[in-house]
Amino acid sequence: MERQKSMEKGLLRKSLSIRERKFPNEEAFLETGLARKSPREITKKAQNDDGECRVTATVFFSTFVAVSGSFCTGCGAGFSSGAQSGITKDLSLSVAEYSMFGSILTLGGLIGAIFSGKVADVLGRKRTMLFCEAFCVTGWLAVALAQDALWLDCGRLLLGIGVGLFSYVIPVYIAEIAPKHVRGSFVFANQLMQNCGIALFFIIGNFLPWRLLAIVGFVPCVLHVFCLFFIPESPRWLAKKGRDKECRSALQRLRGSDVDISREANTIRDTIEMSEVDGESRMSELFQRRYAYPLLIGVGLMFLQQLSGSSGVTYYASSLFNKGGFPSAIGTSVIATIMVPKAMLGTIIVDKMGRRTLLMASCAAMGLSALLLSVSYGFESFGILPDLTPIFTCIGVLGHIVAFAMGMGGLPWIIMAEIFPMNVKVSAGTLVTVTNWLFGWIITYTFNFMLEWNASGMFFIFSMVSAFSIVFIYFLVPETKGRSLEEIQALFSNSVQ
């Protein structure tokens, strides 16, 4: 508590210093309460003002529209599992060719991630989401109309580029518009909607032809484009671009017409002014001591998220059930039924339990599930307990996907959106997102080959990665629950000093 108070006072002193340098003869900022008051009074008043900040209908609607892009992402992720048998039969694809098709979504995501930060910085958060949908709409149509593996892969690649851009801009946009006391839950809705998309395709993929399934994925993308015209741009992006009048207008719309947004608007501007003292950082300048701690956390969480095998388990759930002797149609339907309520639970408790606790609980459950799958496939290879192998397989796959949905799936993206200051958000966010998609592609491309080679050994490795993730989170990841973005960035700044 004392550390947080000290951090807030330091941020306010820096803010006041910048204002005095820029406006030495003016008292225009007396109304904000930053002048002629003690740091204790300033801190108390700021906390009271933050507590009075409401969650308006505009914030709810803007968040819902933004995370609808994640629903499109979930549809893309769930498509490969439900469509596998139909595509391999109709287009006569080999295991290697279908592995390429399944994994090329993550390769496209990698390409989109490379440019995600810069595109979001140049176009703005809202127009970047529109830009994403151009790729997604074209990709779904190409898949639906494909007559050979080349068109199939091209469509999946375009879809992946859109998804890669989405993976950066959606959590950043929500983190920048949501009040701090609900920011975690609102950003976690990103994972909830992604799970809704996966669940929908797991269910309808059991009885719809794969071409019609692609058309179903096309429809929400078109609806998302229409809804994006009715939400405001991020106030923090507008402030960064020097569009103060539009920043205040967007902030007023988000917080309500009867709310005084002067303090929040000034705090946003102060923080951006402080980050501009160092100038916009390039990728090469990112590897400095002052950014090492948040960069280690962001890259480390994405690295561990993918090396836990999460993407492979989701993309090829049907193959895992079939290998364990469990009916894939029943298994995917059970997953779809449970994963959405579990993600809803995560959305509710993320701002109550905190990021660290939920992350460690998620990793522990994923590790145990992967260990159970390792044992199950080990029994299957030696012909031991054949009656129990399908049950172990079902519990292991179900537990892994549900545990991932509750924590490790969405929380690294929340933390990524919180920990980087505005002047490095583009380069740092790009690097973190590229890390996620690069290792996601490696896992999804090699997953089927490793499954055929040694399924038991593969899942044992995944369980060890989850165990290491718990240690990493316990010692390195700080709790960001209940803090504003400006307070979090001041915390990391103080940790370096």
* Complete DSSP assignment for 365-377: HHHHHHHHHHHHH
pLDDT band of residue 35 (cuts 50, 70, 90) is very low
- 221 plus 289 within the same structural domain: no
The answer as to whether 194 is a domain residue is yes
Whether the CA torsion 434, 182, 405, 100 is positive or negative: it is: negative
- The C-alpha atoms of residue 102 and residue 132 are separated, in whole angstroms, by 20
How many distinct structural domains can be found in the chain?
2
User: CA of 109: how far to CAs of 115, 166, 437, in Å?
Assistant: 10, 9, 6
- 211 plus 323 within the same structural domain: no
Q: Which of 190, 209, 231 is the last residue of a domain?
A: 231
- 226 plus 295 within the same structural domain: no
Percent of the chain scoring above 70 in pLDDT? 86
The answer as to whether 453 is a domain residue is yes
pLDDT at 27: 38
- 316 plus 395 within the same structural domain: yes
- 208 plus 297 within the same structural domain: no
pLDDT at 5: 47
* Complete DSSP assignment for 130-191: HHHHHHHHHHHHHHHH--SHHHHHHHHHHHHHHHHHHHHHHHHHHHHHS-TTTHHHHHHHHH
Residue 76: both structure tokens together: 């893309």
The answer as to whether 393 is a domain residue is yes
- The C-alpha atoms of residue 230 and residue 58 are separated, in whole angstroms, by 10
Residue 335: both structure tokens together: 């997953």
Query: Which of 10-24, 271-285, 372-386, 462-476 is predicted most confidently?
Result: 462-476
pLDDT in tens, 41-58: 444 444 435 433 578 889
pLDDT at 371: 95
Which residues, 6+ apart, have CB-to-CB distance to 191 below 8 Å? 70, 343, 346, 347, 405, 409, 410, 413
Residue 412: both structure tokens together: 């690294």
- 333 plus 224 within the same structural domain: no
| Predicted structure pTM score | 0.72
Inform me whether the pLDDT recorded for 129 exceeds 70: yes
- The C-alpha atoms of residue 477 and residue 298 are separated, in whole angstroms, by 9
- 315 plus 178 within the same structural domain: no
The answer as to whether 323 is a domain residue is yes
Q: Which of 197, 231, 265 is the last residue of a domain?
A: 231
pLDDT at 142: 93
Residue 42: both structure tokens together: 């300033």
- 159 plus 77 within the same structural domain: yes
- What does the mean pLDDT of the chain come to? 82
Which of 26-40, 209-223, 394-408, 414-428 is the least confident region? 26-40
Whether the CA torsion 12, 14, 17, 19 is positive or negative: it is: negative
- 305 plus 389 within the same structural domain: yes
- 322 plus 204 within the same structural domain: no
pLDDT at 14: 46
Which residues, 6+ apart, have CB-to-CB distance to 366 below 8 Å? 308, 310, 399, 400, 403, 404, 408, 462, 466
- 336 plus 474 within the same structural domain: yes
Residue 435: both structure tokens together: 């890390």
The answer to whether 421 and 275 are in contact (CB under 8 A) is yes
pLDDT band of residue 28 (cuts 50, 70, 90) is very low
The answer as to whether 106 is a domain residue is yes
The answer as to whether 399 is a domain residue is yes
- The C-alpha atoms of residue 203 and residue 125 are separated, in whole angstroms, by 32
Inform me whether the pLDDT recorded for 95 exceeds 50: yes
Which residues, 6+ apart, have CB-to-CB distance to 64 below 8 Å? 189
- Structural domain range at position 398: 285-496
- The C-alpha atoms of residue 254 and residue 244 are separated, in whole angstroms, by 15
- 290 plus 223 within the same structural domain: no
Whether the CA torsion 144, 147, 149, 153 is positive or negative: it is: negative
Mean pLDDT value across residues 63-89: 87
Q: Which of 214, 231, 248 is the last residue of a domain?
A: 231
The answer as to whether 47 is a domain residue is no
The answer as to whether 254 is a domain residue is no
pLDDT at 306: 92
CATH of the domain at 421: 1.20.1250.20
pLDDT in tens, 213-251: 999 999 999 999 999 999 999 998 999 888 889 999 999
More confident residue, 189 or 305: 305
pLDDT in tens, 140-194: 999 999 888 889 999 999 999 999 999 889 988 998 898 877 887 888 788 789 8
pLDDT at 188: 79
